[in-house]
Structure 1
Amino acid sequence: MRRGFKSVNVMMVALLVLMTAACGDGASKDSRVKNVIVMVPDGFSAAYATNYRNYIGGQASTLDEILVGMAKTRSLDHFITDSAAAASAMATGNKVQNGAISMTADGKALKTVLEGAIEANKATGMVVTSTLSHATPGAFSSHANSRVQELEIAAQLIGKVDVLLGGGKNLYSPEDKKRAEELGYLYLENRDQLLEANHDKLFGLFAGESMTPEIDRDAMTEPSLEEMTNKALEVLAPNKNGFFLLVEGSQIDYAGHVNDAAWAMREIEAFERAVKSALEFAKENGDTLLIIAGDHDTGGMTVGNVDSSYSIDLLHHVKASGAAMIDYWKRQGQDLKEVVHEYAQVELNDDEIRAIEESHYYEATLNQIISDRAGIIWITLYHTGVDVPVYAYGPGSSKLFGVIDNTDIAKVIAQSIGFDLESAEGVE
C-alpha cells in the first residue's frame, strides 16, 4: 500500500511540474513581471473554443496550448453579467453592477490595473475592434456610472493611454483630435498609416463606430487585430519600466448576439493570430505575463445537436456576415435566395425564405438557418452565465489554475506589478 501511495505522490508532483512548465511560470518569481498583456475574446466560452478547434480541422489551437482554468463571471447584481461589469471585475478586482464602468453602486471610482501600471511608470495601450470607449476598454481605462456614456468615456482616454487603436471616430470632434496631437499623439485613420507609424504615442481611429466585421473587412483599408497588436507591442516594448496592454477581440460577442456562427469563427481566427503575436513576444521576453480570458458567453452556442449532422466545414464557404447579406437583399434589392447562395453556398428552400421574410429579425433568422445547416444551435441572442476558459503564460500564471473568479485576474495582475488593489480607495 505504501508503495502505491508513493507512486501516486510522485505522479502528482510530476503533473504539477509539467503544468507549471507548460505555462512558462518557471519559479513563479512575480518580481520578474515587467510587462502584462491582457487579451479578452469578448463573448467567448468553451463551446466557441470547441467549435473553433473543429473549424480549423481538429488540431489544437494556440489557445489550447496554454489553458489553465475557468472563470466564474456573475456580476454584483445579476447571475448573468454584461460586458461592463465583467470587464470592471477583471480590471479592478471588484464586483460591480451590470452597466457600470469601474464604479461602485454609490458612485465611487475603482482603480484599475491599467491605472496601477501608469502609477508604476509603465507604458499603456489598448487595441480593440469595437469603439475605444466600449464596455471592455472603457472599464480598464475609465470610470462612468453607465456604459452608455461613451462620450464621457472617450474623453478620458486622451492623454491617459499611450497607444489607442480601434474604432470610434464619430465619438471624437476635430477639437479632440487636435488636443490629442498637442499631447504628442500621432493620429491614424487607415491601415497604411498604422503600418508606417514610427512614434511613441498612437491614436488610431479606423472606423466611425466599431470596426468592420472580420468576415467583411477590406484588408487594404482597415488593419487587422493582429496588425494593431503587433504595432502596439512595437511601440510599448521599449519602455524601460515595461508596459500594460489590453487587446480585445470585441466582435466575437457581436457575432454571438446575432447567432452568426461563420462570423464568430472568423473573429476567433483573427483573435488567434493576435494571440500568436502576443505569445511569441511573451516567450521571447521571460518577464511578460500573458492572460487571456473571455468576459462571458454570448448566445449559448452548441457543438452539434441530436437532430442533425455536425458539418462545421460548411462555415468555410460563408464569405459575408448575415448582416451584409441582409443588406444586399433589403437595401440593394438583390434576390435573397441568390445572395445566400453566392455568399454562403446555401440553397434556401421556400419555407426558409418565408421564415426570413416574415421575421422580426431578418439577420438572426438567416444566421440561425445557416448555423443549423452546420449543426450548430443557439439558445439565446443574449449572454449566458456559464464559466469561461482562462489561458495564461509567463511568471505568475500558475496563480490562475483551476476555477477562479473573474476578479482574481485583476488581483494576480496587481500583485505581479506591485499595485495593491485592496488599498485603492478610488480616484478623483
Structure 2
Amino acid sequence: MSGFKKLLTLFVVLPLSLCGCKLIENNGYDETITLPQIKNVILLIGDGMGPQQVGLLEEYATRAPQSVYQGQRSAIAKLANLGVTGLSLHGPADKLVVDSACSATQLATGVASGSEMIGLNRAGDKVPTILQQAKALGKSTGLVSDTRLTHATPAAFASHQIHRSLENAIAEQMVLSDSVDVLLSGGLRHFIPKAYMLPVKPTAFEAKLAASDLSLKSKRRDSKNILQQAENQGYELVFNQSQLKEAQSDRLLGLFANSAMVDGIEATHKRYLGQPSLRDMTEVAINKLSKNPQGFFLMVEGGQIDWAGHNNDAGTLLHEMLKFDSAVEAVLHWAKDRDDTVVIVTADHETGGFGFSYSGVNLPQAEQLNNLNRDVYKPNYNFGELALLDKLYLQKRSYAAMWKTAKAGKVHPDAELLVQTVNQNSEFKIDNTDAKAILAEQKNAFFKRGHKSLGVKTAGKINDFSPFYVYLNERPLNLIGRALSAKQNIVWSTGTHTHTPVGVFVLGPSHAIEPFSGLHTHVELGKKMQQFFTGQ
C-alpha cells in the first residue's frame, strides 16, 4: 500500500457514530444522547465572493426598485438566517494573498497549502481531500462548476498537481482516480486528443458529442482520449442540456463547453447555447448522488463571480451572483428540512476590492421634507441612488463580450466603435475621451519574457495601482470599469484578489453547525467539514 493510500485509510477507519453522539449532564449524571448523523455535505463556493459581493446581491434583491426578487431576500440570506454565519481567512501557508487553487485545496484537505498548488500541502505532498474520504467511506461524490472541470477549484477536490495550470493531467487524474461519480462543467478541450476529429462511424458518445455542436479544439499535446477512458470507467457522457436531462446513469461526466460555460448575463437572458444552467447541474447532481443510502459529498462552484471581479465588471458581477444564488436556492429547497445534511456556502477569496462608495459627482439637490419643521434636506455627497442597482442589472453584455465586438477582428477597436458598443450594452455611457483613455497603452514595467500574462512589452495604461493589474490582455476591460465607476458609485482597488475575510453561511442541525460560527481560517473549515465523515 502506498504512503498516500495509508494516509487516506487513517482518515476513514473511525466509526461514523462518533459524529452522532453527544455527552450531556442530566441531574448530575453524564448521559450520552444520539444526535442525527450527518450523511451529506454540500459545499457551495462562490469564487471571488467576498462580503462586498454578497452585499451587492442582497441590496439588489431587497432594494432595487425593479428587482427580480420583488423585494424578497436572496437565497444566500435565507440560508444564513436559518443557520449560522461566520467569517474565514484564507491565506496560503506562507503568504498573505491566496489564489483559487490553494484556497480550494485548504478547504478540501484541512491542510495549509502553497500558492497555485492542487491537492498538496506546502511541502508538495499529496493530501487526501474530503471528496476522496467520502468516496472511501462508500459515499457518492460530485463536482459542479460553471468554469472548466479542470479549473482550480474543482480540481483541488479530486486531483493532486504541483500547479493549477496542468489541466490536461488534472482531467486524466479526475477520470482515472475513480473518486468522483458526477462531474458536470465545461472544459471539453482537456478531454479530447490533439487534432481530434469525430470518426465517420461514431460510437454512441461520439454521436452525442457531434449533436452538441461543441468546438473540438483540443488543448492536449498527446493522443489520449480521456472521453473514451471515461466511458471505459463506466461514465455516461453528456454534452448538452437535453442529454443531461435524459441521462440514466448515476455515474455521469457532463462537459458542456469547450472552455468555460456562458457568463452570468448570458445565463440571465437564457442564451445558454444548449448548456444547462448552474442550477440545472446542481439539481441533477443532487438527484443522482442522493440515491446512495450512505450519503454524499457535493461541491458546487459559481466560478465566474471571480472573473467579473478580475475584469472590474460590476454588471456582470451582479448577474454572476444571481446565477450562483439560484443554485443556492435549489440546494436550500432540497436540504432545509433535513437533519442528515449540512450545507456550507462560502468563497475562496474576494476579487477586485469591489465596493459602492459615496462621491462628489452629481451632488444631490436640496429637498424640502414634509415634516413638522418643513426642513430642507441636502446631503453633502452623492451616496448612490438605489436605481443604480437596476441599471447594473440592465447591462446587456459583459465587458469581455463588448470588447470582442468592438474589436471586430482587429487587434484594437476604433474609439468610435468602442463608444457605440459600450453605450448599446450599458445604461452607463462613455464618450470619445473615455474611449481614448481605455485604448491608451504604456510600456509594461513588469515585462518578463515567456511569462503567460506579463510577457508583452506594452499594455493598457493604468494610472494607479498598475502592479495589481497583472492580466494585461484584460486591462481594457478594467479600464471600461474605471471609465464607468463614478457613474456607478463603484470603486475597484485591484484586478486580482484581496485578503478580505469571506462569509461562511452554514445550514443544518444545530449541533452540527454551531462550530462554524465565529472567525476561522479555511484550513480550520476544511478540518471541521472532514469531521462529519471521519469523526475526528
TM over 0.5: yes
Q: How far apart in 2 are the matches of 1:179 and 1:82?
A: 31
Deviation per residue, 1:343-393 (Å, 9 max, x gap): 113332222121122251222111332343211110000101110000010
Counterpart among 334, 346, 363 of residue 281 in structure 1:
334
5+ residue gaps, structure 2: 1-31, 64-70, 194-224, 362-381, 442-459, 461-474
Structure 1 distance, partners of 2:437, 2:341, is 51
Q: Secondary structure at the match of 1:245?
A: strand
Q: How far apart are the structure 2 equivalents of 1:294 and 1:369? A: 28
Asked if the contact 1:313–1:374 (Cα under 8 Å) also holds between the matched residues in 2, the reply is: no
Report Cα offsets for 1:50-77 as digits up to 9, x if no partner: 1121222435322123331100111112
Q: Deviations over 1:385-423 (max 9, x none)?
A: 110000010131111001111112221221112265xxx
- Which residue identity does 2:251 align to in structure 1? K
Is 1:54 equivalent to 2:56 in the alignment?
no
1:105 to 119, 122, 145: 122
Task: Write the distance in 2 (CA, Å) between the matches of 1:307 and 1:44.
Answer: 28
Confirm or deny: 8 A CA contact 2:419 2:432 kept in the other structure.
Answer: no
The Cα shift of 1:281 comes to: 1.2
The secondary structure found in structure 1 opposite 2:336 is helix
Given candidates 173, 177, 181, the residue that maps to 1:156 is: 173
Aligned residue for 2:47?
A: 42
Match status 1:326 vs 2:403: yes
Q: Give distance in 2, aligned partners of 1:380 and 1:232.
A: 35
* 2:374 aligned residue: none
Is the aligned partner of 1:85 residue 2:102?
Answer: yes
- The more displaced of 214-223 and 238-247 is 214-223
Q: Alignment length, in residue pairs?
A: 394
Identical residues among aligned pairs (%): 33
Q: Distance in 1 between matches of 2:275 and 2:57?
A: 24
Residue 192 of structure 2 aligns with an amino acid whose one-letter code is S
Q: Which has the higher helix share?
A: 1
CA gap of 1:28–1:201, structure 2 versus 1, over 3 A, is farther
Q: Which of 414, 421, 439 is residue 339 of structure 1 equivalent to?
A: 421
Q: Specify the alignment match of 2:518 in structure 1.
A: 402
RMSD: 1.9
Equivalent position of 2:8 in the other structure: none
The 1-side partners of 2:432 and 2:33 are apart by 61
Counterpart residue identity of residue 189, structure 1? F
In the TM superposition, what is the alpha-carbon distance from 1:231 to its structure 2 partner? 0.6
Aligned letter for 1:70? L
Are residues 1:354 and 2:436 paired? yes
C-alpha distance in 1 between matches for 2:33 and 2:51: 27
CA contact (8 A) 1:260 1:371 kept: no
Change (3 A) 1:389 1:155: same
Q: Higher mean Cα deviation, 147-156 or 268-277?
A: 147-156
SS in structure 2 at match of 1:216: helix
Equivalent residue for 1:63?
Answer: 76
Give me the whole-angstrom Cα distance separating, in 1, the residues matched to 2:113 and 2:166.
16
2-structure distance, mates of 1:364, 1:29: 55
Task: Say which is worse superposed, 228-237 or 335-344, in terms of deviation.
Answer: 335-344
- 1:382-421 matches, cutoff 5 A: 382-395=496-509, 396-418=512-534, 420=536
CA distance in 2, matches of 1:118, 1:171: 24
Aligned residue for 1:381?
Answer: 495
Q: Contact 1:116/1:419 (CA < 8 Å) preserved in 2?
A: no
What residue in structure 2 maps to residue 20 of structure 1?
none
Aligned 8 A contact 1:167 1:207 in 2: yes
Q: Distance in 2 between matches of 1:319 and 1:170?
A: 28
Q: Deviations over 1:173-215 (max 9, x none)?
A: 2521111112221111111111222221110111111212121
Aligned to 2:152: 135
Q: Is the 8 A contact 2:188 2:256 kept in 1?
A: yes
Taking a change above 3 Å as real, the CA distance of residues 57 and 253 of structure 1, as seen in their structure-2 partners, is: same
TM superposition shift of 1:106? 2.8
What amino acid does structure 1 have at the position aligned with 2:239? E
Counterpart for residue 181 of structure 1: 231
When structure 1 is superposed on structure 2, of 265-274 and 363-372 the one drifting more is 363-372
Alignment correspondent of 2:201: none
Task: Please list every run of 5 or more consecutive structure 1 residues that lacks an aligned counterpart in the other structure.
Answer: 1-26, 421-428
Determine helix, strand or coil for the equivalent of 1:56: helix
Kindly state the Cα deviation for residue 317 of structure 1 after the two structures are TM-superposed. 1.6
Residue type at the aligned position of 2:477: E
Contact 1:30 1:415 in 2 (8 A): no
- Measure how far apart 1:30 and its partner are: 6.5
Moved over 3 A (4+): 27-31
Relative distance call for 1:177 and 1:137 in structure 2 (3 A) is same
AA matched with 1:314: K
Deviations 1:237-256 (A, max 9, x none): 11110110000000000110
Once residues 348 and 105 of structure 1 are traced to their aligned partners in structure 2, the CA distance between those partners, rounded to angstroms, is: 46
| Paired AA for residue 416 in structure 1 | F
Using the TM superposition, give the Cα deviation of residue 286 of structure 1 relative to its aligned residue in structure 2, in angstroms: 2.1
> Aligned residue for 1:216?
266
After superposing the two structures, state which structure 1 stretch, 348-357 or 161-170, moved more.
348-357
Q: What is the match of residue 254 of structure 2? A: 204
Measure how far apart 1:29 and its partner are.
6.7
Superposition map of 1:228-377 within 5 A: 228-308=281-361, 309=382, 310=384, 311-331=388-408, 335-359=417-441, 360=460, 361-377=475-491
Work out the CA distance in 1 between the residues paired with 2:249 and 2:484.
45
Structure 1 161/387 Cα, relative in aligned 2: closer, same or farther at 3 Å?
Answer: same
Name the structure, 1 or 2, with higher relative contact order (CA <8 Å, separation 6+): 1
User: CA–CA distance in 2 between the matches of 1:201 and 1:241?
Assistant: 16
Does the Cα contact within 8 Å between 2:143 and 2:182 map onto a contact in 1?
Answer: yes
Matched AA of 1:402:
G
